[in-house]
Amino acid sequence: MQAIDVKFDCNALRTDTALRLWQTAASLHSRKLSMPERLPVDLAKAYRLLNHGPTVLVTSTHAGRSNVMAAAWSMPLDFSPPKVAVVIDRNTYTRQLVEASGEFALNVPSRATAALTLAVGSESGRERDKFAERGIATFAAGKIAAPLLEDCLGWLECRVLPEPHIQERYDLFLGEVVAAWADANAFRNGHWLFEEESPSSIHYVAGGHFFETGKGFDVSRED
Ligand SMILES: Cc1cc2nc3c(=O)[nH]c(=O)nc-3n(C[C@H](O)[C@H](O)[C@H](O)COP(=O)(O)O)c2cc1C
């Protein structure tokens, strides 16, 4: 009798899991989205994740505490080795963690993550755990300790290139990109897809107003 109960429970569990998977697939399909497929990005092409100026989420960790904040002011700085620049205000908790660890990650959020971007950019993690409070899912980076965020389109793992003068004077941090990743539904073979059905990155204006990266187009070079 007991064995039958266990079998029944297992079947119920399987049915429930299958139903949930089906619901996720149906939801992705109705939104014309695909399951994320994270692929490494060739470091020589990593600058392209930021070239069009998306707003990013900066993740950091030190001594068992991790944090995430929004940053509209980031940009690529060099091709090889790839470097980035990002403004991290002196009053942020992120600044403390980045200075202490010498590392940070830039996560490129999608339209679907815009509300979260505004939220983590409007509160400090100094006294709270934004990941736990907001149920933010993460996965381990390849080369740094800072967590990377699920539900993003691109990821750049960075080590701080110490420049004490510009850090202190302008809150500007330079980082060498030591690993990069992208969701193949949005960025593939070194290029953003920018197609109607592909998830798009976001750009912050002000006051909770964003716009979504639009349709791409090509211009031929003159010979
Ligand atoms: C969309 C958006 C973009 C932002 N861009 C930047 C930025 O580029 N640099 C910065 O220092 N702060 C920026 N902020 C503010 C920080 O994200 C904010 O101060 C955050 O609460 C700091 O969190 P923390 O103290 O947990 O590190 C931005 C906020 C938002 C909402």
Alpha-carbon Rg for the chain in angstroms: 20
Same domain membership, residue 192 and residue 145: yes
Domain containing 192 — which CATH number? 2.30.110.10
The tokens 């701080």 sit on which residue? Answer: 160
Our answer on whether the CB atom of 173 is closer than 6 Å to any ligand 1 atom is no
DSSP 8-state assignment for residue 110: B
Our answer on whether the CB atom of 67 is closer than 6 Å to any ligand 1 atom is yes
For residue 210, count other CB atoms closer than 10 A to its CB: 17
6: in domain: yes
114: in domain: yes
Same domain membership, residue 26 and residue 85: no
CA–CA separation, 8 and 87 (whole Å): 56
Q: Say how many domains are in the chain.
A: 2
Same domain membership, residue 24 and residue 105: no
Same domain membership, residue 91 and residue 25: no
Q: What tokens were used for 51?
A: 């070239």
Same domain membership, residue 65 and residue 173: yes
Domain range for 113 is: 38-212
Our answer on whether the CB atom of 119 is closer than 6 Å to any ligand 1 atom is no
217: in domain: no
Q: What is the pLDDT along the chain (223 residues), one digit of tens a residue?
A: 343 343 434 444 444 445 444 444 444 444 445 678 999 999 999 999 999 999 999 999 999 999 999 999 999 999 999 999 999 999 999 999 999 999 999 999 999 999 999 999 999 999 999 999 999 999 999 999 999 999 999 999 999 999 999 999 999 999 999 999 999 999 999 999 988 889 999 999 999 999 999 988 899 988 6
The residue whose C-alpha atom lies closest to atom 30 belonging to ligand 1 is 121
